[in-house]
Structure 1
Amino acid sequence: MTERTLPPGPPSGRRGPRTVLLRGGAVYSPADPFATAMLVEGGHVAWVGSDGAAEAYVQTADEIVELDGALVTPAFVDAHVHATSTGLALTGLDLTGSASLAAALDSLTAFVDAQDVPGGVLIGHGWDETGWPEGRPPTLAELDAAARGAAVYLSRTDVHSALATSALRELTEDLAGRPGHHADGPLTRDAHHAVRQTALARLTPEQRARAQRAALARAAELGIGALHECAGPEISSEEDLAALLALAAGGEGPEVFGYWGELGERGVETARRLGAVGAGGDLFVDGAIGSHTACLHASYADADHTGTAYLTAEQVADHVEACTAAGLQAGFHAIGDAAVAAVVEGVRTAGERVGAERVRALRHRVEHAEALDDKTVAAFAELGLTASVQPAFDAAWGGPEGMYVQRLGAERAAALNPFAALLRVGVPLAFGSDAPVTPLDPWGAVRAAAFHRTPEHRISARAAFTAHTRGGWRAIGRDHDGVLVPGAVASYAIWAADDLVVQAPDSRVAGWSTDPRSGTPGLPDLTPGRPLPVCLRTVVLGRTVYRAAE
Structure 2
Amino acid sequence: MSYAETLVTGAQLWAPAPLPRPADVAIRAGRIMAVGAAGGLSELAGRRTVRIDARGAAVLPGFHDAHVHPLAGGVALLGCDLSGVHSLEGYRELIAEHAARSGGPCVAGSGWFGDAFPGGLPDRRLLDELVPDRPAVFSSHDAHGVWVNSRALELAGIDRGSPDPPAGRIVRDGDGEPTGVLLDGAAEPVAALLPAHDPEQLGRAMRAAQDHLFSLGVTSWHDAIVGEYLTLPDCLPAYLREIASGSLRARVTGSLWWRPEWTAADLPGLLETRARARAAGLALDSVKIMQDGICENHTAAMIGPYLGGGAQGRGESVIEPGALNEIVAAIDAAGLSVHFHGVGDRAVRECLDAVDRARRRNGPGRPHQIAHLDVVDPADLPRFAELGVVANIQPLWARADREIVERKLPLLGPERARRHFPFGSLAAAGAALVMGSDWPVTSPDPLWALHTACTRTAPSADPHAGNPESRVPMQPAERLPVAAAVRAYTLGAAEASGIAGEVGRVAAGHRADLVVLSGPIEGPGSFDRLRVEQTLVAGEPVHSA
TM interval, short-chain normalised: 0.7 to 0.9
| Alignment pair present for 1:191 and 2:180 | no
Aligned residue for 2:392?
388
Aligned residue for 1:473?
494
* SS of aligned partner of 1:346: helix
Deviations 1:88-116 (A, max 9, x none): 32232233355544543343222211323
Q: Which of 78, 87, 91 is equivalent to 1:91?
A: 78
Deviations 1:132-179 (A, max 9, x none): 4x2243332332222232322211222111112234345547894551
| Alignment pair present for 1:58 and 2:45 | yes
Aligned residue for 1:490?
512
| Alignment pair present for 1:459 and 2:456 | no
Distance 1:169 1:400 in 2: 29
| Alignment pair present for 1:72 and 2:63 | no
Summarize the alignment of residues 318-467 of structure 1 with structure 2, pairs less than 5 Å apart.
318-355=326-363, 357-358=364-365, 362-395=366-399, 397=401, 401=405, 403-452=407-456, 453-467=474-488
Please, what TM-score do these two structures have when normalized by structure 2? 0.84
Aligned residue for 1:542?
539
* 1:225 positional shift: 0.6
* 1:188 positional shift: 1.4
Distance 2:59 2:377 in 1: 38
Distance 1:17 1:313 in 2: 58
Aligned residue for 1:314?
322
| Alignment pair present for 1:126 and 2:111 | yes
| Alignment pair present for 1:243 and 2:241 | no
Relative to structure 1, the CA distance from residue 319 to residue 396 in structure 2 (aligned partners, 3 Å threshold; closer, same or farther) is: farther
The letter for the 2-side match of 1:545 is: V
Distance 2:235 2:157 in 1: 21
Aligned residue for 1:4?
none
The letter for the 2-side match of 1:188 is: L
**Contact 1:22/1:65 (8 A) holds in 2:** yes
Deviations 1:187-220 (A, max 9, x none): 0132223433543x52222332222222111100
| Alignment pair present for 1:291 and 2:297 | yes
Deviations 1:350-380 (A, max 9, x none): 222222x23xxx1111111221122211111
Distance 1:236 1:102 in 2: 25
Distance 2:240 2:295 in 1: 31
Quick check: 250-259 or 93-102, which moved more? 93-102
Relative to structure 1, the CA distance from residue 236 to residue 327 in structure 2 (aligned partners, 3 Å threshold; closer, same or farther) is: farther
Relative to structure 1, the CA distance from residue 531 to residue 321 in structure 2 (aligned partners, 3 Å threshold; closer, same or farther) is: closer
Aligned residues, how many? 500
Quick check: 471-480 or 424-433, which moved more? 471-480
Deviations 1:70-129 (A, max 9, x none): 33111101111111221232232233355544543343222211323x22x332222223
Quick check: 78-87 or 50-59, which moved more? 50-59
**Contact 1:397/1:404 (8 A) holds in 2:** no
Summarize the alignment of residues 248-259 of structure 1 with structure 2, pairs less than 5 Å apart.
250-259=246-255
Deviations 1:404-462 (A, max 9, x none): 31332232122021111211232111101101111111011111111122112111011
**Contact 1:32/1:49 (8 A) holds in 2:** no
Summarize the alignment of residues 173-184 of structure 1 with structure 2, pairs less than 5 Å apart.
176=162, 179=165, 180-182=169-171, 183-184=178-179
Summarize the alignment of residues 105-124 of structure 1 with structure 2, pairs less than 5 Å apart.
105-116=92-103, 118-119=104-105, 121-124=106-109
The letter for the 2-side match of 1:494 is: V
The letter for the 1-side match of 2:538 is: L
Relative to structure 1, the CA distance from residue 84 to residue 272 in structure 2 (aligned partners, 3 Å threshold; closer, same or farther) is: same
**Contact 1:75/1:225 (8 A) holds in 2:** yes
Distance 1:82 1:31 in 2: 30
Distance 1:398 1:271 in 2: 41
Percent identity, aligned pairs only, is: 28
**Contact 1:316/1:347 (8 A) holds in 2:** no
* SS of aligned partner of 2:60: strand
Q: Which of 17, 21, 24 is equivalent to 2:7?
A: 21
| Alignment pair present for 1:148 and 2:137 | no
Distance 2:491 2:402 in 1: 26
* 1:23 positional shift: 1.5
**Contact 1:193/1:235 (8 A) holds in 2:** yes
Summarize the alignment of residues 188-267 of structure 1 with structure 2, pairs less than 5 Å apart.
188-196=183-191, 198-199=193-194, 202-231=196-225, 232-235=227-230, 239-247=234-242, 250-262=246-258, 264=264, 265=267, 266-267=269-270
* 1:248 positional shift: 5.4
Quick check: 220-229 or 78-87, which moved more? 78-87
Relative to structure 1, the CA distance from residue 306 to residue 145 in structure 2 (aligned partners, 3 Å threshold; closer, same or farther) is: same
Q: Which of 291, 299, 307 is equivalent to 1:301?
A: 307
**Contact 1:261/1:279 (8 A) holds in 2:** no
Distance 1:235 1:386 in 2: 27
The letter for the 1-side match of 2:389 is: L
The letter for the 1-side match of 2:539 is: G
Relative to structure 1, the CA distance from residue 532 to residue 197 in structure 2 (aligned partners, 3 Å threshold; closer, same or farther) is: farther
The letter for the 1-side match of 2:525 is: T
Q: Which of 523, 530, 534 is equivalent to 1:533?
A: 530
Distance 2:153 2:249 in 1: 36
**Contact 2:145/2:181 (8 A) holds in 1:** yes
* 1:259 positional shift: 1.1
**Contact 1:470/1:483 (8 A) holds in 2:** yes
**Contact 1:268/1:328 (8 A) holds in 2:** no
Quick check: 224-233 or 83-92, which moved more? 83-92
* 1:316 positional shift: 2.3
Relative to structure 1, the CA distance from residue 524 to residue 399 in structure 2 (aligned partners, 3 Å threshold; closer, same or farther) is: farther
Distance 1:55 1:17 in 2: 10
Distance 1:31 1:155 in 2: 40
Please, what TM-score do these two structures have when normalized by structure 1? 0.84
Distance 1:396 1:426 in 2: 26
* SS of aligned partner of 1:527: helix
Distance 1:392 1:248 in 2: 30
Quick check: 207-216 or 94-103, which moved more? 94-103
**Contact 1:80/1:432 (8 A) holds in 2:** yes
**Contact 1:278/1:331 (8 A) holds in 2:** no
Deviations 1:247-283 (A, max 9, x none): 25724542221211215413343333333423423x2
* 1:331 positional shift: 1.6
- For structure 1, the residue ranges without an aligned partner over 5 or more in a row are 1-11, 501-522
The letter for the 2-side match of 1:369 is: L
Distance 1:18 1:49 in 2: 13
